[in-house]
Amino acid sequence: MNWPEWFKENKYAFLILSVFIFAAVVYATESLWWDSAVYVGMGKYIYSLGQSGLWEPARPPMMPLLLGFFWKIGISPAIAGVILGVVFSAASILLLYLIIKELADKKAAIIFSLLFALNIYLIIYSKVVLADIPAMFLTLAAVWLLIMNRLALAGAVTAMAVLTKFTSLILLPVMLTGILLRKKEQLPGYKSLVLGFSGLIVPYLAINALVYKNPIYPLIAGQQLIGSVVGNYTCPSSPVFYLNQAIIQIPLLLISLAAVAVVVKKKDWRLAVVAASGIFLLIYHSLLLNCKDARYAFAFAPFFYILAAVVFGELMKQKAKGGLIKWAKLGLAAFVAAQLVFSAITAAQAVIKSRSTANLYKDEFGSFLGGKNITGKVWSTTPAVALYSDVKVDELAYYPVFDNKKIRELNEKLDSSVQYVLINTCDIQCVNYDADCPENSKKLLERLRLKFNIAYDETNNDCQKTVYEWKK
């Protein structure tokens, strides 16, 4: 490949990347999220062989492996995670551009990749250190490699996507079906894709079988966790949540609904793979996952940008045989222009507002154990301990859920071997299926106050944060 010529050919894509990177860097993120702290803690646990950090079996391993590597070589995993988030986001925009250019044309690629770059959720979440954006990049990369007929590599990247976010597994049967639709060298294609996928997945399953006695235990634990946790928190649950968000933020994407007709007309297996990927991932998140969140849309939204771009390209190619076609094309062009202006204004307002409202701070509660002489066990209701220090968290008091069973386990384990207990009362909200859980929770806290000294205490937004130290 002639790289100088390639860069020249795709210069508009890099102009769009510059716009996104500027907005993402300027956007002020308040702090890392709960899940971010978990991934960092798991990474420390892996690379320290269990001497630091924490472990949650329900999480996929890719993010912990990535963040833990930076910790191991002496680079802050939090800072590295933020940088990687921006890089993965920018790489996703580039892949979107290339896929649209391949399936539609350059004009559609410029418009819809720019529209994607101006997505305020992409700008925000690129700096939060979550699995959603890396998984999005990997799924787009897998589809791009499939389109480019790099099947073994496509399988390996699909496996990486699954090991980043388990729901990416939906992509595998879609890609296999796409190979079937090609009708050329089907068997070698299947073999290459499956071998590429198995090369990473089989070792992971073998490790699970060795550690948990069940090769798919993390998937089961993750599904159980979703089922037990979601019902206890307030979050959107409407099956049309993502459709409503699209109508409010990016109504132009609704033209992607016409993509089915384009797929049927063109009989293009590549379009069929893109359409099926977006539709099945949307169905899963809309109908089978109770809790809805804007960041989950990264799993399927890029595919609808691609489909909308293809529909746009097809409509703009229609020859104006009469006044109706001409006015329809003018109307669509005006719609696209309005959408770009609206998205640009929304992104700019969000970035500007973030500069005045951000409240960057160090979590004194989470970092309390940093530098302390730890000779006993550490319990915590928050993973922030592993984010701000390198101590090992022996007991996750919040995991998998805080119910009577968990309280009973904590009472049974509580003895002089426990040196510190970090309690944030907002992290241990009782499940709604144990009526007497709040009372049992109070009794547990009373027992802690009897057996431990209070080494740190603060109240913030009705959350009481206390560090208990065993009475010597």
Judge whether residue 278 has pLDDT over 70: yes
Helix (H/G/I), strand (E/B), else coil: 106: helix
pLDDT for res 328: 81
Residues 246 and 142 occupy one common structural domain: yes
> pLDDT tens-digit profile of 248-275?
999 999 999 899 888 888 889 999 999 9
> pLDDT tens-digit profile of 452-461?
999 999 998 8
The region of weakest confidence among 6-10, 78-82, 380-384, 388-392 is 6-10
For residue 61, being part of any structural domain is answered with no
Task: Work out the angle between the directed axes of helices 171-182 and 132-147 (0-180°, nearest 10).
Answer: 10
pLDDT for res 323: 67
> pLDDT tens-digit profile of 195-241?
999 999 999 999 999 999 999 999 999 888 777 766 566 678 889 99
Residues 421 and 292 occupy one common structural domain: no
Pick the closest to residue 151 from 195, 183, 192 (CA basis). Answer: 192
Q: How many domains is the chain partitioned into structurally?
A: 2
Cα(64)–Cα(164) distance, integer angstroms = 9
The residue behind tokens 């409240």 is 359
pLDDT for res 406: 95
pLDDT for res 184: 61
> pLDDT tens-digit profile of 126-150?
999 999 999 999 999 999 999 999 9
Q: Where is the domain boundary, 323, 357, 391?
A: 357
Residues 86 and 228 occupy one common structural domain: yes
Q: Where is the domain boundary, 357, 389, 406?
A: 357
pLDDT for res 8: 86
> pLDDT tens-digit profile of 281-327?
999 999 988 888 899 999 999 999 999 999 999 988 887 666 677 88
Q: Where is the domain boundary, 322, 357, 392?
A: 357
Judge whether residue 471 has pLDDT over 90: no
pLDDT for res 1: 65
Residues 303 and 215 occupy one common structural domain: yes
Cα(372)–Cα(255) distance, integer angstroms = 58
Helix/strand/coil (H/E/C) assignment for every residue in 193-255: HHHHHHHHHHHHHHHHHHHHCCCCHHHHHHHHHHHHHHHHCCCCCCCCHHHHHHHHHCHHHHH
For residue 62, being part of any structural domain is answered with no
pLDDT for res 276: 96
> pLDDT tens-digit profile of 17-68?
999 999 999 998 767 889 999 999 999 999 999 999 999 999 999 999 999 9
Residue-number span of the structural domain to which 385 is assigned:
377-470
The answer to whether 180 and 170 are in contact (CB under 8 A) is no
Residues 328 and 414 occupy one common structural domain: no
Strands (DSSP E) contained in 359-451 are: 377-380, 395-396, 418-424
The residue behind tokens 């409509």 is 315
First to last CA, the chain: 69
Residues 163 and 303 occupy one common structural domain: yes
Residues 237 and 385 occupy one common structural domain: no
Cα(266)–Cα(309) distance, integer angstroms = 15
pLDDT for res 356: 64
> pLDDT tens-digit profile of 327-368?
888 898 999 999 999 999 999 998 988 866 554 456 789 899
User: Other C-beta atoms within 10 Å of 12: how many?
Assistant: 16
For residue 174, being part of any structural domain is answered with yes
pTM of the predicted protein model: 0.94
Pick the closest to residue 318 from 332, 304, 307, 298 (CA basis). Answer: 332
pLDDT for res 418: 96
pLDDT for res 232: 64
pLDDT for res 300: 97
Residues 401 and 344 occupy one common structural domain: no
Give the Cα-Cα-Cα angle 311, 316, 317 (nearest 5 degrees).
100
Judge whether residue 414 has pLDDT over 50: yes
CA atoms within 13 A on the CB side of 431: 19
pLDDT for res 360: 46
